[in-house]
Amino acid sequence: MDYLQLISLALIQGLTEFLPISSSAHLILPFQVLGWPDQGLAFDTAVHLGSLLAVLWYFRVDLYRLITATLAFTFSGKSTNDSRFAINLLIGSLPIIPAGLLLESMVESNFRAIGVIAFTTISFGLLLWLADVKGQRVRTESELTWRQALLIGGAQCFALIPGTSRSGVTMTAALFCGFDRESASRISFLLAIPAIAGAATLKTYDLVTSAASVDWTTLGLGCGLAAISAYLCIRLFLNVISNMGFLPFVIYRLLLGAVLIALLV
């Protein structure tokens, strides 16, 4: 892997992991247009770890508060808004576990075609627009119930299909549940932590048990670039989403879908 490919793929992963625009749709373009070889399991693992480090660092204060509140509830029975929110986030993280274990290999084998990615990029983009327009935007993240968390977590399972966008589909579900834009985004990002951690763990296990050689310099650079770009992406996105809305991302998804269709044709 040359440095152009390394930098490009790390930045793409970092920027698109948390924006509602689908990382898989973007990652397929360099291979189709430039004929780049597959980046390999090791690099894929590194950039996922970079994305995980970014979201952990950005929400470090929130995570400390939520973990502390959950431990207090566990040992003393003291229930607070933070402990309830943390527990509901854990509930929302549950559906992706069996879905990922049961469906990942099938999805990898049957749903990575450009036509599928183009369809999901466009259709789930339109669904995001509908949620943004029709959503009441009256709830904040502290009002998350276990039923809403389970619904949003269930929606996250659709992200196993390339082109859907994990962040996009969870934000869509949260908007339909009546959350305001910033709260929907924060719920999506916090739900991403177990999902990305689980995916990174599985990829790390596959890497450790494989016989492939490891270029640690390349992995370190990829992880670092993905972490920096993902952190900046989260920070900028949360600062502007309340006023900007999701329409620019919907338009971008429609254009990206059109480019993918053009490649297919």
DSSP 177-208: TTB-HHHHHHHHHHHHHHHHHHHHHHHHHHHH
Are 144 and 83 in contact, with CB atoms under 8 Å apart? no
Q: Kindly state the tokens that stand for 214.
A: 């490891």
pLDDT in tens, 226-262: 999 999 999 999 999 988 999 999 999 999 999 889 9
pLDDT of residue 25 exceeding 80, the answer is: no
Query: At 28, is the pLDDT very low, low, confident or very high (cuts 50, 70, 90)?
Result: confident
Give the total number of structural domains in the chain.
Answer: 1
The total of other beta-carbon atoms located within 10 Å of residue 110's CB is 10
pLDDT of residue 117 exceeding 70, the answer is: yes
Closest CA to 61 of 186, 216, 237: 186
pLDDT of residue 108 exceeding 80, the answer is: no
pLDDT of residue 144 exceeding 90, the answer is: yes
pLDDT in tens, 171-221: 999 999 999 999 999 999 999 999 888 888 877 777 777 766 777 788 899
Out of 110-114, 165-169, 174-178, 232-236, pick the least confident. Answer: 110-114
| Residues spanned by the domain of 47 | 3-264
63: left (phi over 0), alpha (psi -120 to 50) or beta: alpha
pLDDT of residue 163 exceeding 80, the answer is: yes
Task: Tell me the pTM.
Answer: 0.91
Higher model confidence: residue 204 or residue 166?
166
The helix-helix angle for 3-16 and 41-58 (nearest 10°) equals 40
pLDDT at 40: 67
pLDDT at 151: 97
pLDDT at 83: 95
| Cα distances (angstroms) measured from residue 244 to each of 35, 82, 168, 237 | 36, 28, 15, 9
Are 117 and 28 in contact, with CB atoms under 8 Å apart? yes
State the residue for tokens 């003291």: 78
The total of other beta-carbon atoms located within 10 Å of residue 8's CB is 17
Mean per-residue pLDDT of the chain: 89
Angle at the Cα of 122 (from 249 to 92), degrees rounded to 5?
Answer: 75
Pairwise CA distance, residues 2 & 158, whole Å: 33
pLDDT in tens, 179-189: 999 999 999 99
- CB under 8 Å to 202, separation ≥6 — which residues? none
Closest CA to 163 of 10, 35, 25: 25
pLDDT of residue 38 exceeding 70, the answer is: no
